[in-house]
Amino acid sequence: MSIAESILSIHKELPPGVKLVAVSKFHPLEAIEEALAAGQTAFGENRPQEFEQKVKALEGRGVEWHFIGHLQTNKLKMVLPYACLVHSVDSARLLDAINDWGKKNGRVIPILLELHIAAEETKQGFCEEEILDILFRASSYTGVRFCGLMGMATNTDCEDDIRADFGRIKAFWDYLADLFPELSDWKELSIGMSGDWRIALEYGATIVRIGTAIFGPR
């Protein structure tokens, strides 16, 4: 199946209001061009240098760029001027750095807080208590806009484990929405990738991040 055919097939399965972010990391500009021609406008990258290069190469093409990977504080200038949403704010240090950058540059950066619930210790992210602490102080972060949560299920073939992970993320997202009604932009739940996005839809995903199922293996 071609890139265009894959995109059209996925869009047919997405409910209204769910955004497809085509994860174009490590794939050439030609692949993004083919996706653009098929009507796909939102793309996700996870390496700052590659992100910045692609942004500049496709300037003026109406691309909506999402940053989905671990972001080092010394690489902010490669990402924050261009990203419409940073999915992967995974530490207090990074949050503070983005907040400071936003204030210094007269910007308010839309972000998602990454919740770590998967079994792998290698995954990044906050625990629930850390996110609660941050959001109780949300008004002090004037350089960012809290838009929701991002999370990844455990990398496993066990569907029950994946469902348990997505269920926990969604329950916490709902809890936060009820607890902090003043967060008017708290609307996004970025869960689901190539192997589990259909399951993620059952748990309220508003954004799915799909790479391999569109562009093929890297």
Query: Looking at residue 218, what is its pLDDT?
Result: 72
Q: What is the pLDDT of residues 193-214, one digit of tens each?
A: 999 999 999 999 999 999 999 9
Specify which residues 66 forms β-bridges with: 44, 85
Q: Is 133 left (phi over 0), alpha (psi -120 to 50) or beta?
A: alpha
pLDDT tops 70 at residue 180:
yes
Query: Looking at residue 117, what is its pLDDT?
Result: 85
- List C-alpha distances in Å: 185 to 33, 112, 181, 208, 211: 31, 11, 10, 18, 26
What is d(CA 86, CA 99) in angstroms, rounded to the nearest whole number? 12
Q: Would the pTM of this model clear 0.85, i.e. be above it?
A: yes
| SS3 (DSSP) at 44 | strand
Q: What is the pLDDT of residues 69-105, one digit of tens each?
A: 999 999 999 999 999 999 999 999 999 999 999 999 9
Domain boundaries 3-215, CATH class:
alpha beta
Query: Looking at residue 217, what is its pLDDT?
Result: 85
Q: What angle do CA 217, 203, 161 make, to 5 degrees?
A: 65
**Contact status, residue 43 vs residue 21, Cβ threshold 8 Å:** yes
What is d(CA 161, CA 67) in angstroms, rounded to the nearest whole number? 27
Query: Looking at residue 132, what is its pLDDT?
Result: 98
- Residue spans of the domains in the chain: they are 3-215
